A = this chain, B = another copy of it.
Amino acid sequence: MAEVTGTWIRGGTSKCWVFETEDIEATGLTPDEFLPRIYGSPDHRQLDGVGGATSTTSKAMLLSRSEEPDIDVVYTFAQVGIDELKVDWGSNCGNCSSTAGLYAVEQGWVELAQDMTYVRTYNTNTGQLIVQRIPTPGGALPESPTAMIPGTLYPGYEVGLGFVEPSGKTLGALLPTGRTREDLSVAGTSWPVTLVDAGAPAVILPAEAVGLVKIPHEDWTDAVRARLAELDQVRRAGAVAMGMATTAGEAERAVPKLGIVGPSRTDGADLEVLMLSMGHPHPAMPITGSVAMTMASFTAGTWPAEFADADADPQNLRLRTPAGVIATFADDSGPQLIVGADRTARTLASARLHLPAPVPMTAV
């Protein structure tokens, strides 16, 4: 029976099998054939394969070393169908992305720096360059990882996913309207907002404008869910103000994002945040949203900057999301500014996987 090397890595709050592209090629199968077969799909339990039978545990990463001078690793994310014999290549996954950086470090694909090692990764699903930074004190990965994030049981290695010079990538400027704050009029009501383009264009509202006064650790999700239609109108008005659409009706569903921000009244966080993604409250924070919120927080005059603690650390801005506190960074220590959020990653298993024959041959 054919065997293939696979590495199982918990990245953020996802569980991903990591394969090297050439190892899959060596099987003679395409990734669309290989992944469902090795994962045990279609089967709601993925009993006859290595899949984890939930959307967050039926994910795969295909990696290869890059020959480009500015890229270390090229990777493709795959959402492997569970009940369906189908692989979705349509989007990237921030959680799984972090496995690429850790894998490159653990395999010796990059030279380790004395303090922080930067791995330049290119995601083929989105065409994005993501620089990943991993602490390597003394030029080595510590023997045992120690960084915790919400939703995991054990410490992992800290992996920061950084967008390179993210300001104005879509609209040409960090502040597309040239203003740090403004008011949007929607059906006769005036809404205070900050409009920003970093990671992705975003409309950021102060929580008080939505009538939210946060008590410590309160979750805004339910209160916001009751006002989704109204908030989507604000989001669409922001799209028009930023020149992304000529009328509110023409605004896209995915962008701009909408974020709600308020001062943190608890220890351990600098800001309270809730992001809407595709019309729904996000359970944690999409990576693009954390970039927008971070860049705005360090831009004087914006609503996030108004609320952030004065001594907030650009290397460790702490955003309290419904899932817990997420740390972001704005790192200008290298040749380019990189802005993003920290995940943790931990290798669960290094394995030789047995690839089954394609079709049943006889029956007992």
Write the residues of chain A forming the contact surface with B, with a CB cutoff of 8 angstroms: 1, 6, 8, 10, 13-15, 40, 43, 45-50, 52-54, 56-57, 143-149, 151-155, 158, 325, 327, 342, 344, 346-354, 356-357, 360-364
Contact B57 A356 (CB under 8 A): no
Q: CB-CB < 8 A to A327: which residues of B?
A: 364
Partner pick for A155 among B147, B155, B356, CB 8 A cutoff: B356
What are 8 inter-chain pairs, A to B, with CB distance below 8 A? A15-B45, A52-B52, A147-B363, A148-B363, A149-B364, A348-B353, A349-B354, A351-B352
Contact B357 A154 (CB under 8 A): yes
Partner pick for A362 among B46, B53, B147, B151, CB 8 A cutoff: B147
Nearest CB of B to A155, in Å: 6
- The answer for the CA separation of A10 and B155 in the assembled complex, in Å, is 30
Contact A1 B144 (CB under 8 A): yes
Contact B363 A354 (CB under 8 A): no
- The answer for the CA separation of A344 and B348 in the assembled complex, in Å, is 27
Contact B148 A360 (CB under 8 A): yes
Contact A354 B362 (CB under 8 A): no
Q: Which of A10, A43, A48, A357 has the most CB of B within 10 A?
A: A48
* This chain's copy number in the assembly: 2
3 A-B pairs closest in CB distance:
A351-B351, A154-B356, A48-B153
Interface SS majority for chain A = loop
Q: CB-CB < 8 A to A356: which residues of B?
A: 153-155, 346
Nearest CB of B to A95, in Å: 10
Contact B47 A15 (CB under 8 A): yes
- The answer for the CA separation of A14 and B47 in the assembled complex, in Å, is 7
Nearest CB of B to A269, in Å: 12
- The answer for the CA separation of A361 and B40 in the assembled complex, in Å, is 36
A154-B357, A349-B6, A354-B346 in contact; A364/B147 too (CB < 8 A)? yes
- The answer for the CA separation of A349 and B354 in the assembled complex, in Å, is 6
- The answer for the CA separation of A143 and B355 in the assembled complex, in Å, is 12
Contact A361 B47 (CB under 8 A): no
Contact B362 A155 (CB under 8 A): yes
- The answer for the CA separation of A151 and B54 in the assembled complex, in Å, is 19
Contact A47 B155 (CB under 8 A): no
A53-B53, A148-B360 in contact; A347/B342 too (CB < 8 A)? no
Nearest CB of B to A8, in Å: 7
Q: CB-CB < 8 A to A154: which residues of B?
A: 48, 356-357, 360
- By beta carbon, the residue of chain B nearest A354 is B347
Contact A361 B146 (CB under 8 A): yes
Contact A48 B346 (CB under 8 A): yes
Partner pick for A153 among B10, B43, B146, B346, CB 8 A cutoff: B43
Q: CB-CB < 8 A to A146: which residues of B?
A: 361-362
Contact B54 A53 (CB under 8 A): yes
Q: CB-CB < 8 A to A13: which residues of B?
A: 47
Partner pick for A349 among B50, B342, B362, B364, CB 8 A cutoff: B50
Q: CB-CB < 8 A to A46: which residues of B?
A: 52, 57
Contact A152 B353 (CB under 8 A): no
Q: CB-CB < 8 A to A158: which residues of B?
A: 364
- The answer for the CA separation of A15 and B354 in the assembled complex, in Å, is 14
Nearest CB of B to A82, in Å: 12
Nearest CB of B to A228, in Å: 27
